[in-house]
Amino acid sequence: GAGVSQSPSNKVTEKGKDVELRCDPISGHTALYWYRQSLGQGLEFLIYFQGNSAPDKSGLPSDRFSAERTGGSVSTLTIQRTQQEDSAVYLCASSLASGRANTEAFFGQGTRLTVV
Amino acid sequence: GESVGLHLPTLSVQEGDNSIINCAYSNSASDYFIWYKQESGKGPQFIIDIRSNMDKRQGQRVTVLLNKTVKHLSLQIAATQPGDSAVYFCAEIPINDYKLSFGAGTTVTVRA
């Protein structure tokens, strides 16, 4: 597609349920990022993928959070046993390259997760 | 740990005036800097970037200045328009790294 696509755009879930958030990066972009943004706050780094590998998972808040990327393209962020404090907008970004030849990262519209 | 931060959380600007948004960073290894604009309910939108081998870069109505000596980054918006009202974030990546780190953001409100 022309841009980063995230689905669903909104998700309301009951506390304790599992949720899956999907990110379709821009075609050909090898780097993919997940961020979390609470209301009125900045962007909190969660995880980064280079291809299918995630060299840094240190930003994941707890072991209830996991992410995978397949085929160097689509990524899924999974939150198990959701808690109310997980409520936030989850943003995905992709970039053509990273490291020595960093290029701008383009963001999707985000998934607004509400845990009730 | 080291982080990127912004001097002011809010900025009110008269329509037509120039805006200056400031950002201080602490990681001297930062090599690449980006300014993003985030409108309500949307994801951050790329505005302009600059690499550490440059001091200034200009785009359409925007200019980014980088002062590596004092580790300061600024975004200047010329002739601010109502559509410029948004939250602005600076972000940085250290050389040979991947982690795009964001500051807290500055909310810009344009007064008619």
Res. A1 pLDDT band, cuts 50 70 90: low
What chain A residue is nearest to B103 in terms of C-alpha separation? Answer: A42
Q: Which two tokens stand for residue A23?
A: 């990110």
Q: How many CB atoms lie within 10 A of CB B99?
A: 16
CB contact under 8 Å between A99 and B97, yes or no, is: yes
Q: What is the pLDDT of residue B3?
A: 44
CB contact under 8 Å between A105 and B100, yes or no, is: yes
Residues A72, A74: Cα–Cα separation, whole Å = 7
Q: What is the pLDDT of residue A116?
A: 97
B38-92 confidence digits (pLDDT tens): 999 899 999 999 999 999 999 999 999 999 999 999 999 999 999 999 999 999 9
Residues A41, B104: Cα–Cα separation, whole Å = 7
Q: Reduced to 3 states, what is the DSSP secondary structure of residue B8?
A: coil
Residues A73, B53: Cα–Cα separation, whole Å = 32
Give me the residue from A4, A31, A109 closest to B98, CB to CB.
Answer: A31
Q: What is the pLDDT of residue A99?
A: 54
B5-36 confidence digits (pLDDT tens): 545 689 999 999 999 999 998 888 888 899 99
Most A CBs within 10 A among B37, B62, B99, hence the mutation to make, goes to B99
